[in-house]
Chains A and B, each alone.
Chain A
Amino acid sequence: MTTGDIGLWGVPIAVIGGAIRVSTPILFVSLGETLTERSGRINLGLEGTLVIGAMTGYATAVLTGSAWAGVLVAALAGAVFGLVHGLVCSLPKVNDIAIGIAMMLLGTGLAFYFGKPFIQPVAPNLPAIPLGWWSDLPQVQAALNVNVLFLIGLALAFAMHWMLRATRPGLIVRVVGDSSDAARAMGLKPAQIRTIATAIGGAFAGVGGAYLSLYYPGSWNEAISSGQGLMAVALVIFARWNPIACIWAALLFGGAGALGPALQSVGVTQGYYLFYAAPYVLTLGVLIATSSPSRAMAGAPGELSITK
């Protein structure tokens, strides 16, 4: 029988599969936030950007019949949201955290309002690459059905890491993020650079939203995000503003989220509410374990409003 019971082996396979399936939007949002925060600004509004990306992506895919057009429009919508956040925060004495919360509410509100007619229609899904072809087990095949956006996210993380470490634009972002004074002395315009970084970060979050609505779970409704955007912003601290670490953080979070359903499916049924808290407990645990009373948070950009 091909769809047989594989018993306890189902748990690690489901966790790996879940990590790949669930982590992509978290990865995109945390990469976007990493770029934004490395330039010295916090954008808490990415939850709203994620939802607006999910809605615009889904709506575009429904209307045009092309999932990739949806991804593109979601990225554009995300960039617009990032741009607005960036421009407003460039004004003097504007608190980026307050604006972020406002943008979050605006994004979800707009998405709910304009997304109404798109709850029912079915949009074309993004393609997946069957990397599990070598296995006869349908469970393995399903777990390794990897979406293209996940691979793009991985590539983006490495590219961003290299960009920040070894290129001139990366240096500019880092200087602006660490010291506005030094940046000005170099002849850079911090506000402008932060606005660009926030807009690009917003575009990333928009793509993450398109993944939610166009691939997994692959449906637009108002509860589609359920706080993943906020969690991803928090994961940036967990990842210490390092794009490569964002991959691990997102995978860990996604895999931990798959643990609850997977354990129930093999008969570990007691205390599932506890298992559902696993991702959050894990994040807290690692943060506590890696924090130190004697030094400041390693990797934190100096211009962030939470570190100043």
Chain B
Amino acid sequence: MTSLTRPFSHPLSRRGFLRGSAALGGAAALSSLPLGARAETPLTVGFIYVGPRDDYGYNQAHAIGAAALKEIPGVTVVEEENVPETIDVQKSMESMINLDGATLLFPTSFGYFDPHILTLAPKYPEVRFEHCGGLWSADKHPTNAGSYFGYIGMGQYLNGVAAGHVTQTKKIGFVAAKPIPQVLLNINSFLLGARSVDPTIMCQVIFTGEWSLAVKEAEATNALADAGCDVITCHVDSPKVVIETAAGRGSFVCGYHADQSALAPEKYLTGAEWNWGKVYTDMVNTTLAGETIPNFVRGGLAEGFVTMSPLGPAVPEAGRSQFEAVKAEIMTGGFSVIKGPLKDNAGNVVATEGQAFLETDPSLESMGYLVEGVIGATS
């Protein structure tokens, strides 16, 4: 472990000063409040985003979730944006813990976990670190850290169903950031959703290599349109550039992370959106009740972790009814996107006849393949 010196250890530190003045101000404010309005245990929750809060994407989805917490009495939300996945995030977390008194942290980016959360969690055992993504495991990692994520692959499957009804070229496109399991599951789900409509549909994927790289995303979208993809979706931090560029090229689009329909009202088919507000509210209520948040939190469409954007005007009637039927089936549970017989695009069998992986199957969180019909490679 690295030996980080604690910031602000000087006796007349800013931290001590802030605490003192906050206590004075707090006492003055509290004494004038009616008794019932006093929160039992005030809770400060810290949110850290890798990009800007209003990016029409990943960070916006989390920030909307964080905003929902501000309604809960006794809860203070502190936020920091544009924190890179470097030692910077450790500094941000430590300052939230030491200066703001945060005891529940949501460092929301995938790359914040290892080594950054893993460095700080043992150092601050009284603080709860909740990481978005599938990396926490009970036998390896500290118990005051936890992992939460949603089965948004189902949302991409539904995107694919809508896309399958709209595509004329039978070729759909996917702009992907990095070949990590969640992204691969989304790509595979998008294609399999489209193939549930027409099994000849192919999906072209282009990896940009970074979560946020506007020019490369625009180039990738143009390359997909050049290759004849007429429905395009993505998994990057901010889908704004992809959606606008694709719609500008005349392709239809499916959204991701948040609702992007305002960017291309005519071309937007539907989108897989996060609904973190529900997740965060549940977690904070658990903490306020004095209980511990489970270390492994998962949910999908049925649990309200994921929602779908309203269907756009370009989706035909047949598409609408199939979309609603599949969505209802997913809501009842027991639906599998990855089910046999299924091969990957290198010809290896990933699911045999009769084999089906439920969305809750942990093996999906270590997916390393692209299914047959996806044009692209993970490396």
The answer to whether B215 touches A120, judged by C-beta atoms less than 8 angstroms apart, is no
- Whether A266 contacts B214 in the complex (CB less than 8 A), given A21-B222, A221-B55, A222-B52, comes out as no
Interface string of B225-246 (1 = CB under 8 A from A): 1111010000000101100110
Contact of B228 among A4, A218, A267 (CB under 8 A): A4
Instruction: In the complex, identify which listed stretch (B205-213, B281-289, B324-332) lies at the interface while the others stay far away.
Output: B205-213
For B245, the closest partner residue in chain A by CB is: A217
**CB contact under 8 A between A119 and B52, given known A3-B230, A261-B206:** yes
Q: Which chain B residues in 269-296 approach chain A with CB under 8 Å?
A: none
Q: Which residue of chain B is the closest to A268 with respect to CB atoms?
A: B377
Known: A218-B244, A269-B377. A264 touches B215 (CB 8 A): no
Cβ B214 vs Cβ A217 within 8 A: yes
Complex CA–CA separation, A66 to B262 (angstroms)? 20
- Interface: B223 (CB within 8 A): yes
Decide yes or no whether A273 CB sits under 8 A from chain B.
Answer: yes
Interface residue A1 (Cβ < 8 Å from any Cβ of B): yes
Chain A residues with CB under 8 A of B213: 223, 226
Say yes or no: is A181 at the interface (Cβ < 8 Å to chain B): no
Contact B244 A142 (CB under 8 A): no
Within the assembled complex, what's the spacing in Å between the Cα atoms of A222 and B82?
Answer: 9
* Complex CA–CA separation, A149 to B208 (angstroms): 26
Q: Which residues of A contact B226 (CB under 8 A)?
A: 6, 10, 13-14, 17, 139, 142-143, 262, 265
B41 in the interface, Cβ–Cβ < 8 Å? no
Cβ A119 vs Cβ B54 within 8 A: yes
Q: Mark A71-98, 1 if CB is under 8 A from B, else 0.
A: 0000000000000000000000000000
Bound CA span A213–B54, Å: 16
Interface of B is mostly: mixed
Q: Which of B56, B223, B240, B262 contacts A262 (CB 8 A)?
A: B223
Is B169 touching A4 in the complex (CB atoms < 8 A)? yes
Please tell me if B224 contacts chain A, counting CB pairs below 8 Å: yes
B137 to chain A, nearest CB (A): 28
Q: Is the CB of A265 within 8 A of B214?
A: no
Residues of chain A contacted by B69 (CB below 8 angstroms): none
Considering the complex, which residues of chain B in the window 183-236 have a beta carbon less than 8 Å from any beta carbon of chain A?
Answer: 204-209, 212-220, 222-228, 230
What residues of chain A lie closer than 8 Å to B168, measured between beta carbons?
Answer: 1, 3
Whether A269 pairs with B375 at a CB distance below 8 angstroms is: yes
Given A1-B169, A22-B219, A258-B219: A221 in contact with B212 (beta carbons within 8 A): yes
Chain B residue, CB-CB nearest to A7: B227
Q: Which residues of B contact A18 (CB under 8 A)?
A: 219, 222
Is B2 interfacial (CB 8 A cutoff)?
no
B222 CB, min distance to chain A CBs, angstroms: 7
Contact pattern, B 249-268, Cβ under 8 Å of A = 1, otherwise 0: 11000000000001100000
Whether A270 is near chain B, meaning CB under 8 Å from some CB there, is: yes
Query: Roughly how many angstroms separate A221 CA and B213 CA in the complex, as a whole number?
Result: 10
Among A221, A261, A271, the residue within 8 A (CB) of B219 is: A261
Find the residue from A119, A142, A269 having the highest chain B CB count within 10 A: A269
Tell me which of B55, B56, B219 has the highest count of chain A C-beta atoms within 10 A of its own C-beta: B219
CB distance from A176 to the nearest CB of B (A): 35
Q: A119-B55, A221-B52 are in contact. Are A5 and B227 (CB under 8 A)?
A: yes
Q: How far is the CB of A172 from chain B (nearest CB, A)?
A: 37
Q: Is A122 an interface residue (CB 8 A)?
A: yes
Q: Which residues of B contact A112 (CB under 8 A)?
A: 82
Query: Which residues of chain B are within 8 angstroms of A212 by Cβ–Cβ distance?
Result: 214-215
Q: Which residues of B contact A264 (CB under 8 A)?
A: 205-207, 220, 223, 376
- In B144-184, the 8 Å CB interface with A consists of 168-169, 171
Closest CB of chain A to B88's CB: distance in Å? 15
| Residues from chain A with Cβ under 8 Å of B214 in the complex | 212, 217, 219, 221, 223-224, 226
- Asked if B204 and A272 sit within 8 Å, CB to CB, the answer is no
Beta-carbon contact of B212 and A217 below 8 Å: no
Q: B379 contacts the other chain (Cβ, under 8 Å)?
A: yes
Q: A265 touching B245 by the CB < 8 A rule?
A: no
Contacts of B376 in A (CB 8 A): 264, 269
* Beta-carbon contact of A14 and B222 below 8 Å: yes
Contact partner of B215 among A5, A122, A216, A267, CB < 8 A? A216
Are A273 and B209 closer than 8 Å at their CB atoms? yes
CB distance from A136 to the nearest CB of B (A): 14
Is A189 part of the binding interface, using a Cβ–Cβ cutoff of 8 Å? no
State how many angstroms separate the Cβ of B32 from the closest Cβ of chain A. Answer: 34
- Given A219-B240, A269-B376, are A228 and B215 neighbors across the interface (CB < 8 Å)? yes
> What residues on A are CB-neighbors of B206 within 8 Å?
261, 264-265
A221 to B222, CA, bound (A): 19
Contact partners of A17 in chain B: CB under 8 A? 222, 226
**Residue of B whose beta carbon sits closest to that of A262:** B223
Residues B209 and A276 in contact, CB atoms below 8 Å apart: yes
A195 to chain B minimum Cβ distance, whole angstroms, is 32
Given contacts A3-B230, A120-B56, A221-B52, 11 further A-B contacts (CB under 8 A): A14-B222, A142-B249, A212-B215, A221-B55, A261-B216, A261-B220, A262-B219, A265-B224, A271-B379, A273-B209, A276-B216
Q: Which 3 A-B pairs have the closest CB atoms?
A: A269-B377, A217-B218, A265-B223
29 contacts between A and B (CB under 8 A): A5-B227, A14-B222, A14-B223, A18-B219, A120-B54, A122-B263, A142-B225, A142-B226, A143-B226, A216-B218, A217-B244, A218-B241, A218-B245, A221-B52, A221-B240, A222-B52, A223-B213, A223-B214, A226-B215, A257-B215, A260-B219, A261-B219, A261-B220, A261-B223, A262-B223, A262-B226, A264-B220, A272-B207, A273-B209
Q: Which residues of A contact B (CB under 8 A)?
A: 1, 3-6, 10, 13-14, 17-18, 21-22, 112, 116, 119-120, 122, 138-139, 142-143, 212, 216-219, 221-224, 226, 228, 257-258, 260-262, 264-267, 269-273, 276
